[in-house]
């Protein structure tokens, strides 16, 4: 089967396609021009959307103008990852806002890709009521098939540990009751992507 | 004495008497069909998409032995425990042992039809009395609380109203929950959150297992599987061995195929890839167990007809297309695996008795195969299950009579018009209704003494300088009931420069034998017809039929019955629908309308018979009608009209009653179209009977609307 069989018709710009699809799937997108703006937007969202404790991944590395830096320490989260790690069940029970970095975006499905090396890290995007993900435009892939070599690399035989990889298309949802669409079941009710 | 299927008939009647539940189900399945079609239209090449899935699944099943070995090896190298469960008991014993060793009292589960296949929850709770197993998928939790089986593959609790769900959670939580969706969802979250946090063991299924890296993939929309696979100390996966595929390239294609077919979305909201057990906080000694289930799958692989069932990707699309499932739902049309694909799966993993309880709900329309993303020949597998049931338990009387309609037609025709008078008499119809199970409300076609065969003998057959030559496959109705139609078909082709041959020894298609599980007889007819036609094909003849079901048999059913013999494949390749042949070979000849259609009149309504959906879906017929100057509009629900050959002639819930219930949405569409449709054109003789009974419209064969 050729790759084209799965291609969307008429995809012009993968970033635009990603934004369109993710938004249609009830995700929210906030463009940012600099890492500082990313920090400001994330902190703003924690303030306006959060109703309780927040925790940020310790490894939000961003590349901008040839430089790479970790912005995690600048995020105003209330629970530090170290404490989360010490008592993850207790922290998960309190968690309201989880902030992570999305390693990739997939344009043709409107999904972000979470790569987690611990299970408590997975909870930041799965047990929170609000999930904020930082995504770099340069990480957006046009097609899901393009993720294949990246998955193979992440899960190669000598990789330790082999991470959990999750594609996330927006808030959690169900239509189990009379086919009525409901957002926010067990996973996040809101997913915000800050796009650098 | 053959089985009477009393239990099945009671269930069908109960379903027909619950119109509210029926309405919700119809909305759900129609939504599924429509969403899938819309999503497919956004793909570059939908047909190649389907072919690609088939290729992945076929090669995976063919290479399953080596894929299984590779997956197990890689999964173990990741530090996981891997167990090959030969049957449900082996899996239950493994989990109970694990639960006992680890003092497990609470298990959280995400949706897994494979675990339902072996009734895991029930056996675990029986085997360890202090153990609670809690489903965390909302639909699964609802049916767990009321101890029911899934009603639909994707929406297991679709038969429950919002009010009923509120009551269920009110009883469970001990608090009165108002009949409002936000309140219900709030209660659901509060009810399940402690389960997520406090379980010692989390059990998930897996949609795909990837041999390349020993990983499993779980797809959900709710996000519950993410929690079930992350929080508990032990994560256990139960995956059917048929889910193993080779590479990430293939896995990512299937990951898109599932939701496109199931719900018409590009991707399920959460796709979780788990390869090894990760630390949780400071706890690094956590476990991942992967149980690969056999439970009859190895045996299925060895069966040349049934092995295709292993290619199912569990999307539920066949349920959305199935006309009878769409009326009666999964509690009637299913045991644990519901719907069309549920019939061969139930027969293989739960036994013939369980499958036979609902196999005869299949009316052989073939729509399941048309919608299946893996192009699985579900109809023929179902026919095999019916055959086994009939051989073991006998054949129903009306099925016996209707499958021998060729013999009956020959005699009725030879004795017409007296036979017509007898058949149509109230006394005969009452007798047939009471003792033979043929519904007296149905108008039966009249038989003609001067059959097509006799008339053909006396028409001019020479065509000067023929542009082509065909054998006209007359089938049954055009020979015995409507020979004028057959003659019209022949004469139009002759006037278009085509030489037409008729082979009197050809038998009617034999489709009723397939529908009623008499495959040996169907095979005999297929062999007979193919032998006769192959000689003509060798001499350069094409085969043309006016009855869509006849073409369907020539192109699809016969090759399957005859193991794709060279002759059957050759005949199939040269078989055409009547209008397909006309439009492809005779377009230079003008067609005139025989009926007047005023500018302010409604268009002609066009009905696509089910078997024609596997062919051209009527596009050539519509083209011919439009060439003649008609305005034509296809009116459809996307599923069957309900007649399904001779099914709708039978009395009762496993016949007329269900047939009319299936047809009602289509009748309503035709009857309520504005401006009002006065005429319906269709090429199927049996759909004509159904639509005459259900609509206010005149039924016309397209051949009666055109002339050269």
Q: What is the pLDDT of residues A36-70, one digit of tens each?
A: 999 999 999 999 999 999 999 998 999 988 888 99
pLDDT of residue B521: 97
By the CB < 8 Å criterion, does B190 face chain A?
no
CB contact under 8 A, A179 and B27: yes
Mean pLDDT, chain B, whole residue set:
95
pLDDT of residue A4: 47
Q: What is the nearest CA distance from A147 to chain B, expressed in angstroms?
A: 8
pLDDT of residue A7: 53
User: A171: nearest CA in chain B?
Assistant: B269
By the CB < 8 Å criterion, does B183 face chain A?
no
As a whole number of angstroms, the distance between CA B577 and CA B617 comes to 10
As a whole number of angstroms, the distance between CA B673 and CA B660 comes to 19
Digit-coded pLDDT (tens) for B441-497: 999 999 999 999 999 999 888 898 999 999 999 999 999 999 999 999 999 999 999
> Is B340:B332 a contact under the CB 8 Å cutoff?
no
pLDDT of residue B600: 80
CB contact under 8 A, B271 and A87: no
Q: What is the number of CB-based contacts under 8 A between chain A and chain B?
A: 219
As a whole number of angstroms, the distance between CA B65 and CA B587 comes to 53
As a whole number of angstroms, the distance between CA A19 and CA B267 comes to 15
**Is the ipTM value over 0.90, yes or no?**
yes
- List b or e across B677-707, with b for residues whose CB sees 16 or more CB atoms inside 10 angstroms: bebbbbbbbbbbbbbebbbebebbbbbebbe
- Nearest CA to B344 out of B374, B315, B395, B387 is that of B387
CB contact under 8 A, A7 and B28: no
Instruction: Name the pLDDT band for A8 (thresholds 50, 70, 90).
Output: low
DSSP summary character for residue A117? S
> Is B214:B73 a contact under the CB 8 Å cutoff?
yes
Share of chain B above pLDDT 70, in %: 100
How far out from the chain centre does Cα A144 lie?
16
Measured in Å, how far apart are chain B's first and last C-alpha atoms? 55
Q: What is the nearest CA distance from B354 to chain A, expressed in angstroms?
A: 27
Task: Tally the C-alpha atoms within 13 A of residue B658's C-alpha that lie toward its C-beta.
Answer: 33
- Residue where the block lists tokens 């995400």: B110
DSSP class per residue in B381-395: HHHHHHHHHHHHH--
Choice among B21-25, B136-140, B251-255, B622-626 with the minimum mean pLDDT: B21-25
Q: How many CB atoms lie within 10 A of CB B393?
A: 16
CB contact under 8 A, B280 and A118: yes
- From the list B77, B189, B281, the residue facing A88 with the nearest CB is B281
By the CB < 8 Å criterion, does B246 face chain A?
no
Alpha-carbon torsion B230, A152, B70, A2, what sign? positive
Instruction: Name the pLDDT band for A3 (thresholds 50, 70, 90).
Output: very low
CA triplet B442, B447, B451: central angle to 5 degrees?
145
Share of chain A above pLDDT 90, in %: 81
CB contact under 8 A, A126 and B226: yes
Does A161 sit behind a cis peptide bond, omega within 30 degrees of 0 on the bond before it? yes
User: A113: nearest CA in chain B?
Assistant: B271
Q: What is the nearest CA distance from A131 to chain B, expressed in angstroms?
A: 13
Measured in Å, how far apart are chain A's first and last C-alpha atoms? 35
pTM: 0.94
Average pLDDT, stretch B553-577?
Answer: 98
User: A27: nearest CA in chain B?
Assistant: B269
Residues of B within 8 A of A182 (CB-CB) are 181, 185
Residues of B within 8 A of A89 (CB-CB) are 197, 231, 281
Residues of B within 8 A of A84 (CB-CB) are 281
Q: Alpha carbon of B311 to those of A114, B244, B621: distances in Å?
A: 30, 11, 34
- From the list B193, B213, B252, the residue facing A155 with the nearest CB is B213
DSSP summary character for residue B323? T
DSSP H or E segment with residue B681: strand B679-681
As a whole number of angstroms, the distance between CA B140 and CA B118 comes to 16
Q: Which residues pair with A124 in a beta bridge?
A: none
Residues of B within 8 A of A108 (CB-CB) are 266
CB contact under 8 A, B223 and A188: yes
Average pLDDT, stretch B414-436?
Answer: 94
Q: What is the nearest CA distance from A23 to chain B, expressed in angstroms?
A: 13
Give the best residue of A88, A156, A177 to mutate against chain B (max B CB count within 10 A).
A177
Mean pLDDT, chain A, whole residue set:
92
- Hey, is B704 helix, strand or coil? helix
Q: How many CB atoms lie within 10 A of CB A185?
A: 25
> Is B290:B210 a contact under the CB 8 Å cutoff?
no
DSSP class per residue in B477-522: HHHHT-HHHHHHHHHHHHHTTEEEE--TTPPP--HHHHHTT-HHHH
pLDDT of residue B486: 97
Share of chain B above pLDDT 90, in %: 90
As a whole number of angstroms, the distance between CA A113 and CA A146 comes to 12
Chain B residues 29-58 within an 8 A CB cutoff of chain A: 31, 42-46, 48-49, 51-52, 55-56
Does B675 sit behind a cis peptide bond, omega within 30 degrees of 0 on the bond before it? yes
Which two three-digit tokens encode residue B401? 């009579």
CB contact under 8 A, A185 and B189: yes
As a whole number of angstroms, the distance between CA B542 and CA B575 comes to 6
Q: What is the nearest CA distance from A178 to chain B, expressed in angstroms?
A: 6
CB contact under 8 A, B252 and A144: yes
By the CB < 8 Å criterion, does B156 face chain A?
yes
Digit-coded pLDDT (tens) for B518-529: 999 999 999 999
């Amino acid at each position: 089967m050729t790759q084209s069989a799965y291609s969307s018709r008429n995809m012009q710009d993968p970033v635009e396609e990603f934004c369109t699809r993710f938004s249609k799937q009830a995700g929210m997108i906030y463009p940012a021009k600099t890492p500082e703006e990313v920090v400001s937007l994330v902190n703003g969202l924690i303030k306006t959307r959060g109703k309780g404790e927040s925790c940020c991944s310790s490894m939000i590395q961003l590349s901008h103008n040839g430089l790479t830096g970790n912005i995690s320490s600048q995020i105003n989260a209330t629970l530090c990852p170290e404490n989360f790690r010490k008592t993850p069940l207790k922290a998960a029970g309190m968690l309201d806002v989880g902030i992570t970095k999305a390693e990739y975006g997939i344009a043709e499905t409107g999904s972000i890709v979470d790569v987690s090396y611990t299970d408590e890290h997975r909870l930041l995007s799965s047990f929170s009521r609000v999930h904020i993900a930082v995504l770099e435009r340069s990480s957006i892939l046009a097609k899901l098939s393009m993720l294949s070599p990246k998955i193979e690399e992440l899960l190669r035989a000598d990789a330790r540990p082999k991470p959990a990889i999750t594609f996330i298309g927006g808030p959690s949802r169900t239509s189990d009751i009379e086919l009525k669409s409901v957002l926010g079941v067990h996973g996040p009710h809101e997913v915000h992507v800050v796009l650098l | 004495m053959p089985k009477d299927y009393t239990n099945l008939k009671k269930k069908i009647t109960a379903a027909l008497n619950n119109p509210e539940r029926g309405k919700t189900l119809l909305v759900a399945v129609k939504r599924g069909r429509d969403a899938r079609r819309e999503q497919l239209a956004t793909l570059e090449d939908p047909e190649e998409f389907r072919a690609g899935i088939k290729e992945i699944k076929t090669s995976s099943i063919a290479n399953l032995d080596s894929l299984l070995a590779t997956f197990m090896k890689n999964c173990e190298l990741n530090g996981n425990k891997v167990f090959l469960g030969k049957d449900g008991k082996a899996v239950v014993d493994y989990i109970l042992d694990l639960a006992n060793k680890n003092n497990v009292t609470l298990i959280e589960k995400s949706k897994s039809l494979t675990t339902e296949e072996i009734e895991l929850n029930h056996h675990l709770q029986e085997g360890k009395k202090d153990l609670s197993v809690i489903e965390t998928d909302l639909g699964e939790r609802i049916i767990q609380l009321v101890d029911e089986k899934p009603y639909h593959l994707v929406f297991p609790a679709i038969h429950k109203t919002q009010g009923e769900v509120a009551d269920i959670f009110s009883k469970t939580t001990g608090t009165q929950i108002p009949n409002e969706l936000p309140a219900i969802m709030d209660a659901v979250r509060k009810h399940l959150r402690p389960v997520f946090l406090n379980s010692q063991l989390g059990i998930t299924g897996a949609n795909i297992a990837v041999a390349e890296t020993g990983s499993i993939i779980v797809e959900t929309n709710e996000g519950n599987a993410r929690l079930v696979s992350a929080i508990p100390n032990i994560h256990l996966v139960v995956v059917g061995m048929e889910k193993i595929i080779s590479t990430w390239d293939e896995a990512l294609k299937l990951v898109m195929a599932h939701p496109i077919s199931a719900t018409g979305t590009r991707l399920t909201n959460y796709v979780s890839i788990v390869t090894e057990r990760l630390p949780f906080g400071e706890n690094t000694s956590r476990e991942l167990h992967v149980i690969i289930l056999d439970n009859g799958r190895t045996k299925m692989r060895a069966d040349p007809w049934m092995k295709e069932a292993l290619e199912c990707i569990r999307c539920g699309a066949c349920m959305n297309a199935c006309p009878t499932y769409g009326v009666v739902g999964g509690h009637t049309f299913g045991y644990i695996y519901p719907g069309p694909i549920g019939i061969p799966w139930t027969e293989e993993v739960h036994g013939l008795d369980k499958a036979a309880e609902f196999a005869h709900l299949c009316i052989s329309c073939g729509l399941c195969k048309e919608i299946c993303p893996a192009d699985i020949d579900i109809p023929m597998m179902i026919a095999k299950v019916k055959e086994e049931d009939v051989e073991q338990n006998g054949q129903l009387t009306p099925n016996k009579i209707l499958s021998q309609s060729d013999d009956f037609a020959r005699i009725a025709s030879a004795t017409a018009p007296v036979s017509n008078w007898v058949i149509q008499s109230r006394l005969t119809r009452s007798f047939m209704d009471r003792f033979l199970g043929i519904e007296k409300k149905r108008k039966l076609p009249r038989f003609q003494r001067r059959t097509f065969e006799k008339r053909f003998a006396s028409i001019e057959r020479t065509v000067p300088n023929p542009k082509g030559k065909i054998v006209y496959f007359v089938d049954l109705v055009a020979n015995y009931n409507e020979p004028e139609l057959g003659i019209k078909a022949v004469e139009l082709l002759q006037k278009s420069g085509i030489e037409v041959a008729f082979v009197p020894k050809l038998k009617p298609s034999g489709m009723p034998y397939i529908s009623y599980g008499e495959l040996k007889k169907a095979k005999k007819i297929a062999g007979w017809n193919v032998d006769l036609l192959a000689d003509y094909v060798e001499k350069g003849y094409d085969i043309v039929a006016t009855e869509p079901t006849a073409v369907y048999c020539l192109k699809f059913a016969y090759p399957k019955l005859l193991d794709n013999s060279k002759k059957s494949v050759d005949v199939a390749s040269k078989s055409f629908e009547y209008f397909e042949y006309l439009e492809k070979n005779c377009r230079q000849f003008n067609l005139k309308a025989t009926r007047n259609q005023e500018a302010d009149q409604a268009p002609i309504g066009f009905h696509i018979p089910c078997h024609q959906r596997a062919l051209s879906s009527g596009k050539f017929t519509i083209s011919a009608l439009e060439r003649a100057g008609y305005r034509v509009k296809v009116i459809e629900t996307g599923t069957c009209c309900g007649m399904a050959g001779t099914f709708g002639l039978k009395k009762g819930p496993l016949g007329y009653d269900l047939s009319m219930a299936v047809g009602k949405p289509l009748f309503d569409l035709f009857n309520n179209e504005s401006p009002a449709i006065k005429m319906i054109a269709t090429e199927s003789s049996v759909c004509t009977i159904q639509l005459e009974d259900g609509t206010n419209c005149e039924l016309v064969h397209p051949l009666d609307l055109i002339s050269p």
